Each structure stands twice: as structure tokens, then as C-alpha cells.
Chain A
């Protein structure tokens, strides 16, 4: 017997009465447009898409769906990479109409926003205050703050600024019992019992639906400079990265690209990079003199490890050129591969060189091409598993290689995801990832969402939660 209820005419009447006819749709075109995100999965249609405009509407939707046992999924920019689409149908809450900045608390260096606000728009608005929200994921131009909080997003600058979790001070969220609760404080630290704020960050819509978020902000750096360097081997590049971190140098980005990717980007963007086994990009933020001092020491470490062809970028235009190389990695791969699966593992710093070699070994064994880039300053590797063909069989092969890589990450004390989340893609690893705490995770889920109506099938299989 089917566990979840289908959305009935009566349910649609309720939703229309609550939200108005403009704020829901059951049209095939709209359902399809909301049925997939940036993850390489299939199409999973919701039965209805709704656009609440008020927190109370969200809480009433949750209360109603919990009573009727209808699945509820939440969607922001739809840029997720782990698969958070409505695999059990039901109601899809789109947050895009809740997209305001509620209050910039300049003196407190905080901002209160609605969840559907786009990341880049927030930072554009904050510019005039000399402030910014740092995580900077690759999807910056279209991802929403709610989505970032839901998957604990981060990006190139996490080595200095950390991840979204480090900036969420509090939130208001709706829960399946119909409650609307405020959690957290307007202070940068607290010692007040269990940290429910941090627990909700990264929960991917499985515990509640954010209706408001309070973020800590940072001061825009006075000065920034970037350098790039090339290495004869991967190991020399990763050793350099290790020593930059180990010596406590204040770098804001510490990126790695293997030799193939360096070549591909150079050809794609016409950059004329030298032939190399790997390249790194280092950026520093701060006062001009501090940045100069930091990068001078970084250059010393690069030279100590056989780095060559050092390129320096002191102004905005030349920095942009260097970063275009890094941002060109994904497009360059897309032009050479018809099917692509990207890993998001993170390993201890001591394992970086080994982890890259491991990707090549797995690739060889599965007959799959693989290229590595990553935010190596914090150990995050994005292996790109590629195929020149298209089709389900090809995709399955790439996923198998990626799955083996995820298992490797767990085996060395790492994690299967550093910034994309678990979603549907990696839920099979969650028990292995938390061998002695998995039952506690399940208990938390069962306590807050006993009927498993929130994002069912994401992070956990439904049977596990209700079983």
C-alpha cells in the first residue's frame, strides 16, 4: 500500500485558498521545469508547485501536508548538485517569491534575509555597506541563500572564510507540526546548550523549511592579489599547498588543477600556459602590506618545491584573467565530454597527493577518464569523471567510479561531500559516513518529522525513517 497520499482536488482547493490561484500550478510545463536540478539524475515531477509569500503560509502548508501525509520538497535556485528533486511527488515549495533583504544590521555586521534571495544580489546590495557574505559557491549568480544554508554551500574561499555554516547565526523555520520557530541569536558566539542552528544547516530540507535567515557578515577586504604557479608533478603541487597551510599563511584561496585540466583550460581560453604536471592558484586578502608579505612567503614555498612560471596579478583585470582559468575548468571539460559526473570528496591534508593518484587508479580500472581540480587548501577534491559518449550505461559507469571514490574518502577519514550535500546521490553512504552515529541522525529526523513528509528520499530512504 502506498505510504504517501496523492495530492487531491481537495488538497489543491486548500492550497489555492491559502495562497491564491496565482501561487500554485499543476501545469505539466511548470512541473517539469521544477523536476530536476543541476545533478545528473532523472526527472521527478512534483504534483503541484506552490509559491508562498509569507512564513505563516509555509507553516500552514506543512501542517496540512503532515496531516494528509503528502510529501513536501523545497526548492530555491534549483542549482543543487546532489539531487534534491521530488522523487516521491507531492508539493514543491518554491521560495523564489520570498526573496527580500529584510534588514541590513550594519553596526552588528549581520543581515536578515528571506530564503529565496539570490546570493549575488545580496552581496551586490551589501557592497555599499563595505560588507559581504563570503562563501561564494560556483553557482553564485543563481543559487539562493536558503539553498546555500540547506546544503552548507561553500566555494573557492572556504580556506580563509569557511562555509555557510560559519555564518548562520539564526533562522526562522516552519516544521511539520505546523509550528513556526525562531532559533539562534544575534551574537557571534554563545554557549547555550545544543546548537540547533548548526544542526539545521546542511539538512537539505529534511527537518524544516527556512522562512528567514540571519547571517553574519565580513568586511570587504581592502586589497587582494592572486598568483599562479606550475609544477612538474602533482606531489610537488600538493606539498606546496600543504606547506602554505601548515606555515599559517593567511590565504583566501588555494586551488589545484592537474596537468590535463591545466592544458584543457589553457587551450580553451587561449592562455598559453606552460606544460606542467599541475598548477595552483593562491589568493590573499587583507591590507596591501600584509598581502604582499603573505604572497612573498608563498612564492618562496613554491620555489622550494620546484614551482615555475609564477604569474602575478595585482589589479582587478589581471586577477580576473587568472580566475577565468580556474572558472574555465568546468566549461573546458564540458566541451570535451558528453557525460560528466563530479565528485565532492574531502580528505585530510596529508592525503591530497594520494587522493589524486587514487582517482586516476579508479578511472583506469573502470575505463573512465578522470581529471582533478579542487579547493585543496581545505582538502576538497572535485574529480571530473568524463565520457565522450552519452547514455544510461555510460552514466552508470561514471557513477560507479565516483561511488568507489566516495568509499575511498570515508576509508581515509574524509567525507563523501564537502559542499554539495548528500541528496539522493550519496544517501547510500550516510551510514558508512556515520557508522556509530547513524541511528542518532535517524532519531533526530524521526523526532522532528515522524511522518517523513519533508524531502522524503533525500538523505534517508523513507522506509528507514518510518520503519
Chain B
């Protein structure tokens, strides 16, 4: 169908390049759930349906609501990118299929402004938490934003960006690209990251920035995502030119800067920002390798949950190595928890997310050791549904670092 050819542009070629080997299905979280015995609910099935539309071999309408439901089962985990022999950019082309619908809708309107909404709610965090702590508040959230009232929703904290300095001071400059969750829900973690790095001689500050914009991509709001990307790249590039490196502590923020923005904008500026982006865990690795920090003696056990984005960024190997260097015996769990940012919180996906996550929850429920995950929403989902204590890898390492 022409609308698909026109809407996908160069990504049409990706669809035609698919050889239908099924490798994506073997790693795709939603293709291994109990509902995905149906081929149309798997990753390869989505590609086959798109091929059939492009090759005029089916009557499927790409704008049809039911078809869109099937496309929405790709929540952008990026695991498929590691195994696809044909190099098909599956998540990226699904964003573009979603963008075909255009139009508004309440959810899309909310998403377009989610950064500003979160910022406001964080500024009045006590009131926000009071409202969202009530059943009525959750029902309102469900009605307005489509977030299932049973889903875990993080408490708001005061904005981190207002608690750390806005420009570099003494020390090696690190411009902190914070993203929504750390900024407005886990500012305590962000403060500990900044404080730790300051003690190592870095100067951590928060330059002008917006949200990373991953939910915009996932929803197919590509123009809005590009606007956000351009804003962030332009601001962060100024910091790089001043000699700063860009610091992240969230895998979504890291992935946006390292992969999504260069892919979305395709310009030199975003590539420069990507090259100068570093995660706090990579800095810890540098410091350990340089002998500037050491871990205390002692042993411990923990479970490491390799989140989809940690795998996609290649950070999982580094994290496991660091945790082992710090004396932990690490049990690695590769299964997806099903939350995928906001996907598993949404009313239409809540049950599906539980289905996807059930394989992980059954393995870790009742664990007597903490579950470490780099992803903030994974930690939220895991602690809520498996009833276990969760930590960011930085927190697990912090307790082991020998003070100088």
C-alpha cells in the first residue's frame, strides 16, 4: 500500500531485506509470551505482514486499529538488533509505522508534553504524591494518561536539576544529562551520583536540557522526538565544546545520546555528542582501571537483571565485570520484566506486560539478595511484581568502594 511506501521511506528497504529467519522472535520479549503462539503477535509476524502490504499480497490496512495493536507489541527493546542477520532496523521501522496514523488523541497530546507535565508534578511533589497515592488519583491518571491504576507508578521527588549546579565549577567537567526518571522521581540517586563524582575530582552540573524523548519515539511522534533531540544535542554540544563530557546514569538517556539521536538526526553534531557521552558506570570502570578507586575486601551475592537497554548499549558486560570486581557473586537474569519504559504501565498493555515479565518474576520471587538493574522502570516493575529489593548498579558498587 502506497501509504506505507511513502511513510517509511528508506525503511521500506529494511522490510524487504528481512529473510524471515525468525532470529528476532527468539529474543523478542513479546514473541515469547503466552499470547505469542499466534504468529501475528511475534516480531517476524509483524515484518511478514509489512512485507505482504508492500508487495500487495494482502488486504491488511496499515492504518487499521487492529493492525496497530499488533505493531504496538514491539516495545522497542532493541534485542532483535543484536541477532538480525540482515541488519533490519526493526524498532526504528516500527516507530515509523506508528507515525503513519498521525492525528492526535489524548494520549498523544499528553506524550507531546510529558516532559513539562512531569516537571510541574515534580515541583509540587508533595501534592502530586498525595493525589497519586489515592485511588481517585490513580483513576484520574488512568483516564487522562491511560496508565493502568494497578501498575506501579513512581513517587515524585523534587527536581534534581534544581539541586545541582547549572554550570561547571572546579574539577573535570561532567554535564549531567539526567532524563525524566532520575530528574523527577529518583533525585536522591542523582545526587549521590553527583556527590560521588565530585569527591573524585569531577565537577558535575546540569546544563539546559529536555527529556530524552524515548516515549515520543516509541509512539511514533517522530517530529516531536526530533525537536527534543535537536534541542538536547545543541545544548550538550556547547558543553562538549567547552571541554565537558556528557554524563548519564540512566540507560535510556545513554541510548538516546549514543544511538537514537545520531540515527534520528543523522548529523555531525549528534555524533560528536555521542562520542563524548559517558555513563557513571563507565567512569567507575576508568577509575578502577586507573587505580584511583578500590573496592573493599569482602564477598556478597546479588542478582543482576540485564535490562533490554543495558543489553542494547552493551553495558551489561561492563556492569557484571564491575560487580564481580567489587566482590559480588552475580546471578545473571536475561529475562525481560515487561515494563519497557511506559509500555507496561499502559492500560492496554498491563496484562501483556505481566505475561512477558512472569518468566523473570518466577525466577527471582522470594530472593534473599537484592536485584540490581540499571533501568529505573525495570526496578520499579521488579520490586512491585516480584516483591524484591532493587538497586541501581551504582548503589551496589558505592557501598563497596574504599574511601580514600
Interface residues of A (CB under 8 A from B): 25, 27-30, 32-38, 42-43, 45, 49, 51, 77-79, 94, 96-97, 118, 120, 139, 141-143, 330-331, 334-335, 338, 340, 390
Contacts and interface: CB of A to CB of B under 8 A. Distances in A.
Given A79-B21, A335-B87, A27 B40 contact: yes
Interface in B23-70: 23, 25-27, 37-40, 42, 44-45, 48-49, 51-52, 55, 57-60, 66-67, 70
A142 B48 contact: no
Interface stretch (B12-20, B274-282, B299-307, B363-371): B12-20
B58 A28 contact: yes
A32 B55 contact: no
A419 to B, nearest CB: 15
Interface residues of B, number: 33
Residue from the set B21, B25, B45, B58 with the largest chain A CB neighbour count within 10 Å: B21
B26 A30 contact: no
B86 A29 contact: no
A77 B22 contact: yes
A421 to B, nearest CB: 16
Interface in B166-221: none
Nearest to B88: A334
Interface in B115-150: none
B85 interface: yes
B83 interface: yes
A27 B20 CA distance: 20
A141 B26 contact: yes
Given A43-B58, A142-B23, A338 B17 contact: yes
Interface of B: 16-17, 19-23, 25-27, 37-40, 42, 44-45, 48-49, 51-52, 55, 57-60, 66-67, 70, 83, 85-87
Contact of A30 (B16, B39, B52): B39
Given A29-B66, A32-B52, A38 B39 contact: no
Given A78-B39, A79-B22, A390-B16, A29 B85 contact: no
23 contacts: A29-B60, A30-B39, A32-B48, A33-B38, A33-B40, A33-B48, A33-B49, A35-B57, A43-B57, A49-B38, A51-B37, A77-B22, A79-B21, A79-B22, A96-B37, A141-B83, A142-B23, A330-B85, A331-B86, A334-B17, A334-B87, A335-B87, A340-B19
A28 B17 contact: no
Given A38-B22, A43-B57, A77-B22, A30 B86 contact: no
Contacts of B38: 25, 30, 33, 49
B45 A33 contact: yes
Contacts of A139: 21-22
Nearest to A342: B19
The main secondary structure of chain A at its interface with chain B is loop
B56 to A, nearest CB: 10
Given A43-B57, A45-B58, 15 more contacts: A28-B58, A28-B59, A29-B70, A33-B44, A33-B45, A33-B48, A35-B57, A43-B52, A49-B38, A94-B39, A96-B37, A141-B83, A142-B22, A334-B19, A390-B16
A306 B70 CA distance: 56
Given A38-B20, A142-B23, A334-B86, A94 B37 contact: yes
Contact of A29 (B21, B27, B40, B51): B40
Given A29-B66, A33-B40, A331 B22 contact: no
B19 A38 contact: yes
Nearest to B47: A33
Contacts of B25: 142
A33 B49 CA distance: 6
Contacts of B86: 331, 334
Nearest to B45: A33
A460 to B, nearest CB: 25
B48 A334 contact: no
Contacts of B27: 141
A37 B48 CA distance: 9
B47 to A, nearest CB: 9
Nearest to A79: B22
Contacts of B42: 33
A45 B40 CA distance: 13
Contacts of B45: 29, 33
B343 to A, nearest CB: 20
Given A28-B58, A32-B40, A36-B20, A331 B87 contact: yes
Contacts of A30: 38-40
B40 A331 contact: no
Contacts of A120: 26
A35 B21 contact: no
Contacts of B55: 43
Nearest to A34: B39
Residue from the set B16, B19, B49 with the largest chain A CB neighbour count within 10 Å: B19
Contacts of A36: 20, 48, 51-52
Residue from the set A29, A38, A141 with the largest chain B CB neighbour count within 10 Å: A29
Contacts of A78: 20, 22, 39, 44
Given A51-B37, A334-B87, A32 B58 contact: yes
Contacts of B19: 38, 334, 340
Nearest to B84: A331
